[in-house]
Amino acid sequence: MIRLLFILCITIYSFSQQQITVVFNSNNTKLAKFELTYIREILDIYTKEYDKNVKIKYQGIKDFKSNYTTLEAGKKNETLVINNVTITDERKKQYDFSIPYIYNKYALLSRKDYFFRDSDTKKKVGFQTGGMSEQLSKELPGEFPSERIGYSSMSMAVKALDKREIEMIFNDYIGSWIYDLKVIRVFKPNLSNEFGIMYQKGSKLKAPIDAIMEKYHKSDKFKKLINKHFGEYAKTFFKL
């Protein structure tokens, strides 16, 4: 009887134990390192305040489109994505987002030795497929003669830039910090580009994590974290 009760208790515990899967960028960029440290801080508070028995699993992905497929393949109340995903009205129709954790802009980026010159010659501009960069880059031919070339990840676009296969990359302003690139020009300065944690629609994780984020963003611990990772860029990407 005692053995039966013990097995029953273990079974009940196993079913009640929650697991949160964190989908992140496994390309080991500076931003990915920050995002991982940040979400660990947030989930550490979550486990203390909401569920001490929760198990955290980290699942790395290599390309941007996998943000959506991996999230949709996971359980609604147990999966989140933190991988420089911009909050947009269109995306909010299909997914839920946290409050912003980074405030960003869009920009044309290039090598330190590149100088933009107005001419009729088409300039090859790389972009990351599957994200806002792909959509917004369609407007570039109206700005200057250009040929758009898509890449599955920003890392691949940067490699093409280094090989001089392309002249510029259209991406987030924060890419200049991540990959040590030169900002050629900011695209539509008034256009906001805020990063948020992405969930499936109706996920129960959103409300408690939003509450934790709001408090954490006001803490000295958060300021130390962003100063450690971003240095002089901290005031560029965060509302301090």
Residue 17: the pLDDT is 58
Exposure string (b/e) for 94-121, b if CB count within 10 Å is 16 or more? ebbbbebbbebbbbbbbbeeeeeeeeee
Q: How many H-runs (helices) and E-runs (strands) does the chain carry?
A: 10, 12
What end-to-end distance do the CA atoms of the chain give, in Å? Answer: 60
| CB contact at 8 A, 62 and 153 | yes
Instruction: Let me know whether 55 and 120 are in one domain.
Output: no
Instruction: Let me know whether 75 and 183 are in one domain.
Output: no
Instruction: Let me know whether 57 and 80 are in one domain.
Output: yes
| CB contact at 8 A, 215 and 203 | no
Walking along the chain (240 residues) 10 residues at a time, the average pLDDT comes out as 44 59 94 97 95 92 94 98 95 98 96 92 94 92 94 94 98 93 93 95 98 97 96 88
Question: ∠ at Cα 29 (112, 66), nearest 5°?
Answer: 120
In a domain, 5, yes or no: no
- CATH number of residue 164's parent domain: 3.40.190.10
Domain count, the chain: 2
- What is the rounded CA–CA span in Å between residue 234 and residue 69? 31
In a domain, 81, yes or no: yes
* Beta strand ranges found along 69-167 (DSSP E): 79-82, 95-97, 102-104, 106-110, 123-128, 146-151
In a domain, 6, yes or no: no
Instruction: Let me know whether 26 and 99 are in one domain.
Output: yes
Residue 131: the pLDDT is 85
Instruction: Let me know whether 93 and 111 are in one domain.
Output: no
In a domain, 10, yes or no: no
In a domain, 4, yes or no: no
In a domain, 85, yes or no: yes
Residue 225 CB coordination number (10 Å): 18
Q: What are phi and psi of 230, to 5 degrees?
A: -105, -20
Instruction: Let me know whether 78 and 114 are in one domain.
Output: no
- Identity of residue 29: T
In a domain, 3, yes or no: no
Instruction: Let me know whether 65 and 33 are in one domain.
Output: yes
H or E stretch at 183: strand 182-187
- Identity of residue 61: I
Which domain, by its residues, includes 73? Answer: 17-103+193-237
Instruction: Let me know whether 111 and 73 are in one domain.
Output: no
Residue 4: the pLDDT is 43
Instruction: Let me know whether 60 and 81 are in one domain.
Output: yes
In sequence order, which residues have a C-beta less than 8 Å from that of residue 45 and are 6 or more positions away? 212, 216
In a domain, 11, yes or no: no
Instruction: Let me know whether 210 and 168 are in one domain.
Output: no
Instruction: Let me know whether 174 and 213 are in one domain.
Output: no
Instruction: Let me know whether 99 and 197 are in one domain.
Output: yes
